[in-house]
Structure 1
């Protein structure tokens, strides 16, 4: 039993090292040999397997420090990985080339424009608004299944989830009221992003560690996507100016072709950057998390004081805004958890994260109180019910996260317990998102007079 536990710990350590692509597979094997040799020496001296593993890891040193050391000693390797995107022999032959990424990016652009051939309007129609997340995320899922060598069973599950998304987006498209359509627009991307996570984690989508990898992927993907968007904004401005200078109206080309096709293609390219360059620029997200955590604590405390002093007008826009703030904060918390070395003990940043969770809890409770007052006065509507459900879902996560973080900061709870809680809770978000997409149009009705099957 102890031997199995030790191998599981070494496997987790190996997974973390292999995620640092600056450390080549050969380097990782060498480090693992050193680790096993130290563990053997320590167990021979009388330590238990668990104690020997912890001591050996500490003696080898911080993995982040090792990564920095390898980056300094092998800067040529780093830049080759950054520019050329070379694949390692340890990838098992899985294709990760730029050509595959570009192929899926082009496929995403083509898929986005196909509905226009059948009369769907990008400017005035509701089809693109309802199906935007499907058109953007389906090619991304396809790319991940290609580069990660996803098995057929997982591909079938992902395909079924996206087919469910097609049904949810279009079943009530012609008849849904505006507020219900907006809820579908906001919740379908959440459900589909978790479907992307199933593609990313492949056969391990039922276990926790692969979902932590996907959370790290998500954080890096968002950063790369923002950087691409900033560069794309400059390119769009220059293109529009150049067309204007030649007397050509740029509006149709820029807004009908360049921006939408570039956006869906960028989703795939950003994923390629994360997969091929992981750990080359991977430290951006943890650094940003540490910078913004205290700032968000101050922001949430100020927001709570404002709500107490001035109250909150619980209209649709306010509910979306407050829930968006809480979701961003929760993402910051979860990514902070995913990006740390599991072998590290509690520190100052963990107390900062605990403060962030408590501030988010305070805001969530105040919003729930305001919602309860609004519901008692005006009853249940689709927006208020969705906001109530979302805030309860967030409240449960924040409450238990606060308890686990407090236990970890005081040295009473293992960090793995906190990780496991966050990865298991992913499915709660998925279930709630699908409930809103499918059940809310039925519960809160739709315009029967506009209903049609064509």
Structure 2
């Protein structure tokens, strides 16, 4: 038996598992002990070093499953892990675990540093005469450009990106920065152009998906990598919302406390704390997802099981509302906007629920409920399409109607095929992997459409 070869393999395995931020250093020591016991047993049965190591790792299980199991067995340590990021009872790592602690501390330091930089970037335009209330259109166009490059930089550092993916991400941001600031939009905020607002909204979507290239380490072509980014996006939203609620409550309390002693700090809170905090929280939420999402049970299954029935009921109510209104050409504009928002949320909820599901689990009641949700969403989409075609034929094309029409066509194609795959899965004719692959393969379609609206609509419609 070549113990040197086994030690090298185990050391490589340990280095990899420590980089996942999934298991505390002390637990890694225990896992390594189990792994070595398995290897010794398999070597005694005549397997080679490589064969024994591979079989032992396979028996040990997936890292995510191991993390959840340790979270359940050592629940008394969860709060310390969540806050301090150190799973050892004494708070000090042992052996190579110290390296893990240093990496986690470095990750937090980098995230905080980039978060501060993002907050300052939001205030930087004021040095060049850009005033937030007066030049609101500037901040609408550049909201994503001022913050998301720092998030991409965080992932570039964390994933150790090569030159090619860095160039792709940087090039994407550069194209949007040049176009959105070179286009001759009307600077008067009171007459904000429709194409300017569309470009601002769609640029956020497109640049977020470009950040996904950095998140996946440049491996954007793999379905599993895209699904990881979907999962990250959902978890990030939850963390960011919690940070925003906590920050808003703390800001209100601060203003109230200082007001009670006759000191007005509201100007500082509204001009500095809130804008800088909102930008910095983007990085902090990303770090929380990266470092903490596997310490406790994933919240995604809970959220999807709560909101899927609610969204399904809402869509059924919207269908009734549309039938009551009946005249789809003269249908309320607000109702159409509500339909579009609900459809986008439904698709996001669908993709998020897919990312949270165990692909090996047999179809159950929740999968059948998703069939109803998809069918309801498809009916809503058809209603919107009929209404949009009628309004376009009656009043002609406009940037908003064209953008809405294109979005609903894209959503309809997604919903039709997703419904077909979901029915096939529920009936046992298709594997769940087919449902997952369709949604991850569709992400570039959203990126392409968002980029087209943001970059092509303004000149196509004369920047009106």
Distance 2:313 2:21 in 1: 33
Counterpart position of 1:118: 128
Question: Is the 1:81–1:276 Cα contact (8 Å) retained in structure 2?
Answer: no
Q: Deviations over 1:428-448 (max 9, x none)?
A: 00000011011111111136x
Q: Distance in 2 between matches of 1:391 and 1:36?
A: 55
Q: Matched residues in 1 for 2:119 and 2:392: separation?
A: 44
For residues 190-235 of structure 1, the C-alpha deviation after alignment (integer angstroms, 9 at most, x for no partner) is 1011011111001311111011111111111000011101101111
Q: Could you tell me which of 195, 198, 219 is aligned with 1:204?
A: 219
Considering only CA atoms, is the larger Rg found in Structure 1 or Structure 2? 2
Separation in 2, partners of 1:414, 1:383: 39
Secondary structure of 2:362's counterpart equals coil
**Pair 1:245–1:65, CA change in 2 (3 A):** same
Task: Work out the CA distance in 1 between the residues paired with 2:120 and 2:256.
Answer: 26
Q: Which moved more, 1:127-136 or 1:22-31?
A: 22-31
Q: 1:398 to 1:122 in 2, by over 3 A?
A: same
> Deviations along 1:85-105, whole A, 9 cap, x unmatched?
249768996875322111111
Q: For the residues of structure 2 that align with 1:197 and 1:364, how far apart are their CA atoms? A: 28
Rounded to whole Å, the distance in 2 between the matches of 1:31 and 1:324 is 50
- Structure 1 residue 342 corresponds to structure 2 residue 353: no
Q: Cα–Cα, structure 1 residues 92 and 428, in superposed 2: closer, same or farther, change >3 Å?
A: farther
Q: CA RMSD in A?
A: 3.4
Q: 2:218 aligns to what SS in structure 1?
A: helix
| d(CA) in 2 for partners of 1:32, 1:361 | 50
Aligned partner (choices 164, 167, 177) of residue 178 of structure 2: 167
Aligned CA distance change for structure 1 residues 295 and 19 (closer, same or farther; 3 Å): farther
Q: How does 1:390-409 map to 2 (within 5 A)?
A: 390-409=407-426
Note closer, same or farther for the CA distance 1:103–1:314 as it changes in structure 2 (3 Å cut). Answer: farther
Deviation at 1:409?
A: 1.1
Secondary structure at 1:273 match in 2: helix
- The residue number in structure 1 matching 2:375 is 358
Who is 2:325 aligned against?
310
Q: Is 2:271 the partner of 1:256?
A: yes
Instruction: Supply the distance in 2 between the matched residues of 1:225 and 1:121 (Cα, whole angstroms).
Output: 26
In structure 2, the partner of 1:369 is: 386
1:79 aligns with 2:79: yes
Q: 1:107 aligns with which of 114, 117, 124?
A: 117
2:182 and 2:274 map into 1 onto residues whose CA distance is 28
**Paired residues of 2:21 and 2:290 also in contact (CA < 8 A):** no
CA contact (8 A) 2:68 2:297 kept: no
Question: CA deviation digits over 1:159-184, x for unaligned, max 9?
Answer: 11111221232122534862111111
Match of 2:210 in 1: 195
The answer as to whether partners of 1:334 and 1:422 remain within 8 angstroms in 2 is yes
- Number of aligned residue pairs: give it: 420
Q: What CA distance in whole angstroms lies between the structure 2 residues aligned with 1:197 and 1:318?
A: 32
Could you report, residue by residue, the CA deviation over 1:53-90 in whole angstroms, capped at 9, with x for unpaired residues? Answer: 9xxx9x99999886554223223553332122249768
Partner of 2:288: 273
What residue is the counterpart of 2:348 in the other structure?
331
Shift in CA distance, 65/435, structure 1 to aligned 2, threshold 3 Å: closer
- Does the alignment pair 1:152 with 2:163? yes
Kept in 2: contact 1:105–1:139 (CA 8 A): yes
User: Taking structure 2 as the reference length, what is the TM-score of the superposition?
Assistant: 0.81
1:33 Cα offset (Å): 9.3
How much does 1:321 deviate?
Answer: 3.0
Any idea what the Cα deviations from partners look like across 1:237-273, whole Å, max 9, x if unmatched?
A: 0121133234343342122111111000011000011
In structure 2, runs of 5+ residues without a counterpart are 1-15, 41-54, 88-96
Residue 196 to residue 356, structure 1, CA distance change in 2 (3 Å): same
Question: Taking structure 1 as reference, are residues 386 and 27 closer, same or farther at Cα in structure 2, changes over 3 Å only?
Answer: farther
TM-score, with structure 1 as normaliser: 0.83
* Residues 35 and 153 of structure 1: CA distance in aligned 2, closer, same or farther (over 3 Å): farther
Contact residue 122 and residue 256 of structure 1 kept, 8 A: no
Looking at structure 1, the residues matched to 33 and 308 of structure 2 have their Cα atoms a distance apart, in angstroms, of: 36
